[in-house]
A = this chain, B = another copy of it.
Amino acid sequence: MTLPHEGVDAAVIGIPFDTATSFRSGARFGPEAIRSASALLRPYHPALDVDVFGTLSLVDGGDIEITPGNALRTTEQIAAALEPVVAAGIVPLALGGDHSIVLGELRAQAAVHGPVALVLLDAHADTWDQYYGERYFHGTPFRRALEEGLLDPGRSTLAGMRGPLYEAADLQVPREMGFELITGDELVSMSPGQYADCVRGRLGDGPAYLSFDIDVLDPASAPGTGTPEVAGLQPREALDFVRALAGISFTGFDVVEVAPPYDSPGQVTALNAAAVAYDLLALLGVARRG
C-alpha cells in the first residue's frame, strides 16, 4: 500500500481476516461487503451538520495483506502496514475482519501516539486470556493490548456488553483491568448525552481509538456477524450514541465482525456497517472542522 500521504485526513483500509473467530466465520469478506453497501452514501451528514467528503481528504487504501490461518503473523502484518499511515497523521478507518485485528491496529496507534484510550461499542468485552488455548483470538485482543502497553484503561470506556457469560465474575475482569464497563442494559437506559459525558469524563486529553463491533447491534439489524447476541441495540440507538461523541478527536477507528455469508439478501448488516463507518468519518469531520 503506497498511500499519497500529503494532506490526506483519513484512509479506509480493509482487513479481510477471519481466522480468529470462535463461531461463525466469514468476516474475511466484510471489507468487500461494506464497500459495496457504501454506494448510497453522500457528502453531507445532516445530524452532525458536516460535509464529510468536502471537509476531509479521504482515500481508500485497499486491503492489507494478511495471512489466513495465522492470527499472530497477521497481527504483525497489520501493525506494519498501519504504522506509517498513522505516523503520517492519517486516521485509519479499518473495515474488518474479526476483532482480533484490532491488536495490530492498536500496535500502530501506540507506536505513534503512545497508549491510547479505547472507546468500544461491542456485545463482548473481548478481554479473555485465551480461547481454545489460543491467545491471539477475537475474544482476547484487549487483554493482549493491555499486556503490551498499548491501551490506557483508565481513560477507556467499553459499552454494550450483553448475553450469557461463563461465570458471574466475567464482567468484573475488564473492570479490574481498569476499564469502565457499561453493560447493554445500562447503556439503553442512558441518553446519548449521558453516554458521551461518561466517555468524555474519562478521556482527558490523550489519544483515543474507537472500535465498533457490529454485534453491538441486534441480530435483526446485524445477522451477518461471527458471534451474534440477541437483544442488542437498534441502529438508531447505536448511531445516536456514536454521534454524541462528536467533538472528540479520534486517532483511529474500526468497524469489525461483518460476516457477509450470514447477512440477509438485502445486506442489512453491511448497510449498517457502512452507515457506522460514515458516521465515524463524520466525527472526524467535526473534529477537523474545528
Contacts and interface: CB of A to CB of B under 8 A. Distances in A.
Interface of A: 18-26, 28, 32, 36, 39-47, 49, 51-52, 67-71, 73, 132-134, 136-137, 162-168, 170-171, 183, 185, 188, 218-221, 223-225, 227-232, 234-236, 239, 261-269, 271-272, 275, 278
| Count of chain copies | 6
27 contacts: A24-B26, A40-B163, A40-B229, A43-B164, A44-B164, A44-B165, A46-B168, A46-B183, A47-B185, A51-B168, A67-B133, A69-B71, A69-B137, A70-B132, A70-B133, A218-B220, A218-B236, A219-B272, A220-B220, A223-B265, A223-B267, A230-B272, A230-B275, A231-B235, A261-B261, A263-B265, A264-B265
A261 B264 contact: no
A-side binding surface: helix, strand, loop or mixed? loop
B263 A262 contact: no
B46 A171 contact: yes
Q: Which of A165, A227, A231, A263 has the most CB of B within 10 A?
A: A231
Nearest to A43: B166
Contacts of A183: 46
Contacts of A134: 67-70
A8 B230 CA distance: 28
Contacts of A24: 26, 261
Nearest to A170: B44
B221 A40 contact: no
Nearest to A218: B235
A70 B18 CA distance: 12
Given A219-B268, A223-B268, A228-B271, A26 B23 contact: no
A168 B268 CA distance: 26
Nearest to A138: B69
Nearest to A167: B44
Contacts of A46: 162, 164-165, 168, 171, 183
Nearest to A49: B168
B25 A166 contact: no
A63 to B, nearest CB: 11
Contacts of A26: 24-26, 261
A158 to B, nearest CB: 15
Contacts of A47: 185
B44 A166 contact: yes
A216 to B, nearest CB: 13
A24 B26 CA distance: 7
A171 B49 CA distance: 12
Contact of A23 (B40, B165, B232): B40
Contact of A68 (B22, B165, B171, B262): B22
